[in-house]
């Protein structure tokens, strides 16, 4: 097995990996959501020209309206971000949001407002329209920090280190009916605002590959699986499948992958080296997500254009598997008769170059 890990370069990397984070947050399992140079990993809803990357910041110029959302959906998490807004400006941070123009209506928004520290259900720090903050330590024209902890029905919000919300969603009828999973986003409310260092810890997940090493994988004899300086795992096309060292029964697997024209790959489930229980990754018109050996096709093609990054979640409980790809569940609770009860996972190859990043897993009961 030949693989490269150039530690110095990786520390300077602007990739979507935990290596851009402080050492303490890397140890805690945080993942950066911004690479500092472009909006890879984000989608714009509304005025696309309003969003820019400038001097390592996400900048909303204030043109038009709308918001920018993550490619990933999240359920239980700890999210941190820093923001700075001009005098009198208005913005917000969305979470568990739906991909609609006004996500605050059915999701959650933590208000950003240069309001001089007022307290109310629409003031800075409020869960917009639902709950006023306990305090409002906004710093006008300076950098402010939000930490949002959403775990099940409990939501806590820290504003510049001050706990301003500790809410049981189930105790509030309006909050209780809102989604328990959705996107994280930043609002364009028509004002100039800057954001930096958005990062997230998905509660219950652990890294299988975070851009640093291949310690979770059986690299012996696997061939050329190379760690690039930007924290991406690249398979050159020479070698064989890459298997995890650990076996898994019930789990949620999340990963990002990219192929070029003619690329072909997949995820082997529970040690099925024959490829029967395989989630396909390919260019076929039906789209990725097919369960190969069971001939279970995805509901629709959700693949990103060839050469761009795809965001895939595989959920397996018992003999049922579901596959989420780029915002849609393309396979839901498909039964796999005779599938092994437990086994390792593998990144499968067909002799074509492949790219993977941000591979993490949550073990389920």
Domain containing 358 — which CATH number? 2.60.120.560
- 27 phi and psi, to 5 degrees? -65, -35
The helix/strand/coil state of 157 is: strand
* Domain range for 225: 210-363
Tokens in use for 167? 């809410």
- Model confidence at 9: pLDDT above 90: no
The helix/strand/coil state of 216 is: coil
Give a yes or no: residue 11 inside a domain: no
- Model confidence at 66: pLDDT above 50: yes
- pTM across the whole model: 0.93
Residues contacting 195, CB < 8 A, separation 6+: 57, 58, 59, 60, 81, 82, 83, 186
CB 303 within 8 A of CB 288: yes
What is the C-alpha to C-alpha distance for residues 31 and 207, in angstroms, rounded to an integer?
A: 10
Q: Say what the pLDDT of residue 275 is.
A: 85
Neighbours of 285 (CB within 10 A): 7
Q: Say what the pLDDT of residue 330 is.
A: 98
Tens digits of per-residue pLDDT, 146-163? 999 999 999 999 999 999
From the list 284, 180, 278, 206, the residue with the least C-alpha distance to 26 is 206
The answer to whether residues 198 and 245 belong to one domain is no
Give a yes or no: residue 13 inside a domain: no
- Model confidence at 5: pLDDT above 50: no
Higher per-residue confidence, 9 vs 56? 56
The answer to whether residues 195 and 220 belong to one domain is no
- Model confidence at 19: pLDDT above 70: no
Give a yes or no: residue 182 inside a domain: yes
Tokens in use for 317? 């409980």
- Model confidence at 99: pLDDT above 80: yes
What is the C-alpha to C-alpha distance for residues 247 and 270, in angstroms, rounded to an integer?
A: 7
Token look-up 């310690």 returns 215
Q: Say what the pLDDT of residue 11 is.
A: 34
Give a yes or no: residue 12 inside a domain: no
User: Among residues 202, 222, 254, which one ends one of the domains?
Assistant: 202
Using alpha carbons only, give the angle 46, 49, 50 rounded to the nearest 5 degrees: 75
What is the C-alpha to C-alpha distance for residues 182 and 75, in angstroms, rounded to an integer?
A: 6
Give a yes or no: residue 6 inside a domain: no
168's torsion region: left (phi>0), alpha (psi -120 to 50) or beta?
beta
Tens digits of per-residue pLDDT, 311-320? 999 999 999 9
Number of compact structural domains in the chain: 2
pLDDT band at 285 (very low <50, low <70, confident <90, very high): very high
Write down the mean pLDDT value for the chain.
94
**What is the average pLDDT across 129-137?**
98
- Least confident stretch, 14-18, 100-104, 184-188, 251-255: 14-18
The answer to whether residues 189 and 221 belong to one domain is no
């Amino acid at each position: 097995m030949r693989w490269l890990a150039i530690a110095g370069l990786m520390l300077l990397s602007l990739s979507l990996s935990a290596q851009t984070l402080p050492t303490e947050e890397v140890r805690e399992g945080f993942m950066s959501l911004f690479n500092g140079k472009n909006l890879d990993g984000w989608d714009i809803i509304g005025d696309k020209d309003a969003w820019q990357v400038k001097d390592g910041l996400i900048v909303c110029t204030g043109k038009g309206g709308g918001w920018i959302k993550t490619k990933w959906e999240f359920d239980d998490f700890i999210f941190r971000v820093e923001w700075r807004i001009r005098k009198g400006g208005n913005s917000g941070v969305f979470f568990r949001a739906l991909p609609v123009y006004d996500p605050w209506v059915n999701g959650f928004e933590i208000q950003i407002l240069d309001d001089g520290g007022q307290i109310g259900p629409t003031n800075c720090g409020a869960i917009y329209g639902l709950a006023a903050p306990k305090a409002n330590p906004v710093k006008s024209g300076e950098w402010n920090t939000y930490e949002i902890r959403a775990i099940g029905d409990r939501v806590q919000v820290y504003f510049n280190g001050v706990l301003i919300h500790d809410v049981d969603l189930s105790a509030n009828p309006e909050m209780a009916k809102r989604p328990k999973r959705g996107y994280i986003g930043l609002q364009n409310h028509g004002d100039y605002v800057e954001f930096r260092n958005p990062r997230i810890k998905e509660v219950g997940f652990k890294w299988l590959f975070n851009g640093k090493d291949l310690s979770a994988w059986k690299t012996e004899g696997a061939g050329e699986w190379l760690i690039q300086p930007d924290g991406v795992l690249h398979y050159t096309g020479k070698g064989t499948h890459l298997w995890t060292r650990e076996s898994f029964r019930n789990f949620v697997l999340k990963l990002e992958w990219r192929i070029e024209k003619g690329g072909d790959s997949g995820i082997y489930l529970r040690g099925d080296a024959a490829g029967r229980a395989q989630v396909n990754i390919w260019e076929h018109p039906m789209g990725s997500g097919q369960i190969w050996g069971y001939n279970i096709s995805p509901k629709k093609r959700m693949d990103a254009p060839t050469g761009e990054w795809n965001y895939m979640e595989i959920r397996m409980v018992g003999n049922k598997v579901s596959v989420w790809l780029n915002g849609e569940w393309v396979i839901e609770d498909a039964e796999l008769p005779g599938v092994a009860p437990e086994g390792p996972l593998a990144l499968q190859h067909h002799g074509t170059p492949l790219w993977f990043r941000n591979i993490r897993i949550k073990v389920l009961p």
